[in-house]
Chains A and B, each alone.
Chain A
C-alpha cells in the first residue's frame, strides 16, 4: 500500500438515528436534525466541533438548514453523493477523504426521509408528469418501478445460472430472522418461513415476490467521521475505516444498465470489491459480518459473487440460511437489513456494522474485527470496510 492510502486514517466515532416507522408524523428536515444531533452527541462532541456535512443528492434537507438547526458555527466542507442508495457508503468516503486531508476535522453524513408516508419510490405513478430523459426509454412501456428495473436485469442472471425465485428465499429468511430479535426493526418478532416466502404474491413475475422486496420506511440516520487519532480519545470505540470506495463502469446507468454485453453481474460492485480489498489488504475470509444492500434479494446473490465470497453462478448454492445466519460463516444484515429493519437508503447498514465493531448490536457476534458494508446495487454504488482499532 502506498502512503497515499485512505486506509485507517479516519473512523466513525458517532452514530445516530430516529425511530424507523411507516409514518413519522414530522418533517424530513426534523428527522435529519434529530439523527445528526444524535450522532454528534454519541461521539461526545458538540455541533461547534463539526465542520463538514455530506448527504445524498436525493435528500431534501439542505446542508445549511441542518447546520442552522443544530447550531453548527463554521463549516469548511459540504458535499452530496448521487445515484440513490448507491450513495450510502459514498458519503462516508467523502467524509473520510476530508478528514484524512485535513480539510475538515469532524464530518457528519446523514440521510432522512419520509419514504413511506411521503414520496414512495415503489409507486411513482401519478406523481410523474414529465419524464426525465433516461426514464423516457422505459416508462412508456410500463417499466417504472425500481423492482421492475432490477428484475429485467436479474431475470437474465437467473436464466444464465439456472436460478429460481426459491433461491432468493434464504436472504429474506435471514433478514427477517435477524429483525425478529431487533426491537428497533419494523418486523420485530415477525420472522418468516420458506413457505411464506414462496406464497407471497408476485411483484415482478417471475423474479420478485413481495418478500424479496425491501420495505419502504420513514426515518433518519447519521454517522460522524473524524480522524482515527482523535476517535481514540472519544467515548465510544471507533469503527476504523479500513477501506472506502465508490464504483462505476462503462455504460453504467441509474438502475437500467441493459446495454452491456454481460447482464449477469453487477460490475459497479466489482469495482468497489477490487478497491476495498486492495485498499484494506483484506480478503473475503477476513470479514466477520457484512451488510449487503438488500433492496431486492437477487442482487444480494450477485453481490456475493462480485465481492468474491463465491464464484460466478455459485451464490444460489453458497447462500444458505445456515451460512448467512448469526454464528454462520458470513452473518449478513444482523439488524434485519432493509427487508427486516428499515429502508433508510442503506445508512442503517453502516450504523449496524459500527455497532458490531463496538460490540453493542442487539444481535452481537463474537470477535468482530472487520465488517463489510455495501450500498445500493444496479446503480453506481459504494462500499466500506470498518475495522476495530
Chain B
C-alpha cells in the first residue's frame, strides 16, 4: 500500500469518497432536472434544486487532456506519472491518473476504464487504465 495526500471531505462531497470504498464511482444527479454534475456541489446551477441523488457511473470514459509533471518531484509519485482529465461517458469530467500505460503512449482520445486503487488510511482513488488492457 502506498500513500497519497488525503482529500478534505465536506458535507457536499462525502458520498463520492464513501462510494469509492465499495468500488463505486458516483456522480451527483439533480432530482429537479436530472442533470449530472461533478465536482459535487449543493445547488443545481440549471434549476436551483437542492435535492440530489447519486448514480453509479459505468467507469468508462475518454482522455481529453493529460500532462506528465516532471518538476518539482512530488512526494508519493515516481517520475513519469501521468495526470489526465477524463470525460466519463455520462458527460462529466474528473482529474485522475492514468495507470498501466507509459507516458509515451498517453494520448487525447484514449478510451479508459476506472480502477479502484487502495492507499494508506482507507483512501480509495478512481484511477484509469486503457480500456483494451485487462
- Chain A residues in the interface with B (C-beta under 8 A): 122-123, 125-126, 128, 130-133, 135-145, 147-148, 151-153, 155-156, 159, 201-207, 210, 250, 256, 258-259, 263
Contacts and interface: CB of A to CB of B under 8 A. Distances in A.
B76 to A, nearest CB: 7
Q: Does more than half of chain B's interface fall in helix, strand or loop, or is it mixed?
A: loop
A255 to B, nearest CB: 12
A106 B118 CA distance: 57
A378 to B, nearest CB: 14
A147 B65 CA distance: 15
Interface residues of B, number: 37
Interface of B: 4-10, 13, 38-39, 45, 64-72, 74-77, 81, 83, 85, 92-97, 103, 108, 123, 125
Nearest to A159: B108
A148 B72 contact: no
Contacts of A147: 69
Nearest to B119: A140
B13 to A, nearest CB: 7
A198 B67 CA distance: 18
A143 to B, nearest CB: 5
Contacts of B74: 125, 142, 144
Contacts of A135: 8
Given A125-B74, A137-B39, 6 more contacts: A139-B5, A144-B74, A147-B69, A151-B69, A156-B85, A263-B64
A140 B4 contact: yes
A202 B7 contact: no
A141 B96 contact: yes
Nearest to A148: B69
Contacts of A151: 67, 69
Given A142-B83, A156-B64, A259-B38, A204 B6 contact: no
A46 B123 CA distance: 57
A35 B99 CA distance: 49
